[in-house]
């Protein structure tokens, strides 16, 4: 089976982005069914991101390194004319990044309301998930920070970690990207 032509892929990607944007806007206005989350793979872990806390999904692009920063701060990218810091959340948590193909990696930008102009590096975007189709998993990782304490299991028994980006940006270590 041959792969789709580049114009067809771009058209499908554009259509997907429009649908995602519509769903995100509906979630922000309260018109959407509650509990829709974006599923992503970060550090080999299945994660859920609240649609109201993210702004955009962008393809991975060349990152300009910033000297004297933490190893988890990858540098800066230009997304729609805005310099945006790129965070490798897997490294931030002391994990190793997964082995996804570079073409699958995406940048997930934070919603402007969080007041933190950055993007998370995701190994893969897995699509929308509904929390009401999952069950809360009581087994919280010992010493997990508040921003990643919510655990869920889907119908297939896979465990998902819900990341609360509003709590993440309040963590003092997260805002200290420079080496001390």
High-pLDDT (> 90) share of the chain, % = 68
pLDDT over 60 (residue 18): yes
Lowest mean pLDDT among 13-27, 53-67, 131-145: 13-27
138 compared with 129, residue with greater pLDDT: 129
The per-residue pLDDT of the chain, averaged, comes to: 87
pLDDT over 50 (residue 40): yes
> Domain spans of the chain?
34-175
Q: How confident is the model at residue 166 (pLDDT cuts 50, 70, 90)?
A: very high
Query: Smallest Cα–Cα separation from 49: which of 24, 75, 72, 22?
Result: 24
Tokens of 129: 């998930």
Lowest mean pLDDT among 16-20, 23-27, 107-111, 119-123: 23-27
Tokens of 4: 């789709």
Q: What are phi and psi of 120, to 5 degrees?
A: -90, 140
User: Looking at residue 137, what is its pLDDT?
Assistant: 86
Lowest mean pLDDT among 66-70, 107-111, 139-143: 139-143
Range 25-43 average pLDDT: 72
Q: Report d(CA 35, CA 25) in Å as an integer.
A: 14
Range 40-49 average pLDDT: 95
Q: How confident is the model at residue 32 (pLDDT cuts 50, 70, 90)?
A: very low
Range 37-44 average pLDDT: 95
134: helix, strand or coil = coil
pLDDT over 80 (residue 78): yes
pLDDT over 50 (residue 31): no
Q: Report d(CA 78, CA 84) in Å as an integer.
A: 6
Q: Write the class of the CATH domain 34-175.
A: mainly beta
């Amino acid at each position: 089976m041959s792969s789709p032509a580049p114009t067809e892929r771009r058209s499908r990607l554009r259509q997907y982005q429009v649908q995602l944007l519509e769903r995100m806007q509906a979630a922000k206005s309260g018109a959407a069914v509650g509990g829709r989350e974006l599923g992503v793979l970060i550090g080999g872990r299945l994660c859920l991101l609240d649609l109201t806390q993210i702004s955009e999904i962008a393809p991975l692009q060349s990152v300009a390194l910033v000297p004297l920063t933490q190893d988890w701060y990858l540098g800066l990218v230009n997304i729609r004319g805005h310099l945006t810091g790129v965070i490798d959340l897997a490294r931030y948590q002391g994990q190793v990044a997964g082995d996804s193909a570079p073409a699958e990696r995406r940048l997930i930008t934070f919603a402007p309301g969080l007041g933190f102009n950055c993007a998370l590096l995701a190994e893969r975007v897995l699509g929308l998930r509904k929390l009401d189709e999952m069950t809360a998993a009581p087994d919280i990782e010992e010493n997990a920070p508040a921003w990643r304490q919510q655990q869920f299991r889907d119908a297939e028994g896979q465990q998902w970690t819900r990341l609360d980006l509003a709590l993440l940006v309040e963590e003092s270590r997260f805002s200290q990207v420079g080496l001390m």
